[in-house]
Amino acid sequence: MHIDIITLFPDLFTSVFSHSILQRSQNKGIVSVEFHDLRQYSVNKYKSVDDYAYGGGAGMVMQIEPIANCLKDLKSKRDYDEIIYTSPDGEMLSQGISNELSLMKNICILCGHYKGIDERIREHLITREISIGNYVLSGGELAAAVISDSIIRVIPGVLNDETSALTDSFQNNLVSPPVYSRPYEYNGWKVPDVLISGNQRLIDEWNIEQSLKRTKERRPELL
Ligand code: ADE
């Protein structure tokens, strides 16, 4: 999969994509990611990409030309399955959406800023709008990183068997069961006996029971 991210702050992504699973996915050649500095597509000598909103009101609007020019450039190199705009009024990101996007070949993510982008971009150039929650971020970069991470970790081959995404919370609409590691006892707090029983059938049953119990207690709306 190839992901193009259009942003005013490419440096914000450097660390996120150069650690852990996101880095490994690129080293394995399964994923490639490129960041495109929107200012490079400014149409004036000040390199600005925003202007006042027609009709007035507080806040600046990201202008149509830099974004349209950038997309034109990128589209001349790739056919996109989706061109995503990060926005608090988009559809809410879910495991299902991430699974769906993980099967795609090329996606582009446009990070919003200021008061938003010129509506004509949303109408004519964006194919999907995604929110990562009911709160407003200062910009779309963190949302783009969250979306990319949740997509990349479920691409086949990115995680090894031990960390398979199939056991993640939400993959079956249930949250994950509790997990334990050594030591067996700390401060008098013991690991549940079933987990050291060596009986895989009992362990699997226990995990499912715990998943259901947790989901009922903590996230009943998932059931
Ligand atoms: N940009 C600002 N807030 C956002 C949110 N909650 N989700 C996605 N993009 C955003």
Residue 167 has pLDDT above 90, yes or no: no
The answer to whether the 2-152 and 172-222 domains have the same CATH topology is no
- pLDDT tens for each residue of 33-86: 999 999 999 999 999 999 999 999 999 999 999 999 999 999 999 999 999 999
Tell me the whole-structure pTM to 2 decimals.
0.94
Pick the CATH number of 172-222 from 3.40.50.150, 3.40.50.720, 1.10.1270.20, 1.20.1280.50: 1.10.1270.20
With a CB cutoff of 8 Å and minimum separation 6, the contacts of 122 are: 85, 129
pLDDT at 170: 81
Domain boundaries, the chain: 2-152, 172-222
Cα separation, 28 vs 100, in Å, equals 21
Q: Which pLDDT score, from 0 to 100, does residue 169 have?
A: 77
Nearest CA to ligand 1 atom 6: 88
Q: Is the pLDDT of residue 160 over 90?
A: no
Check pLDDT > 60 for residue 204: yes
Is residue 162 pLDDT above 90, yes or no?
no
For residue 70 and ligand 1, the question of a CB distance below 6 A is answered with no
Choosing from 134, 137, 146 the residue with most ligand 1 atoms within 8 A of its CB, the one to mutate for a pocket test is: 137
- What CA–CA distance (Å, rounded) separates 28 from 7? 25
Half-sphere exposure of residue 107: CA atoms within 13 angstroms, side-chain side: 23
Mean of the per-residue pLDDT values for the chain?
Answer: 95
> In the predicted model, what is the mean pLDDT of residues 84-100?
97
Q: The domain 2-152: what is its CATH number?
A: 3.40.1280.10
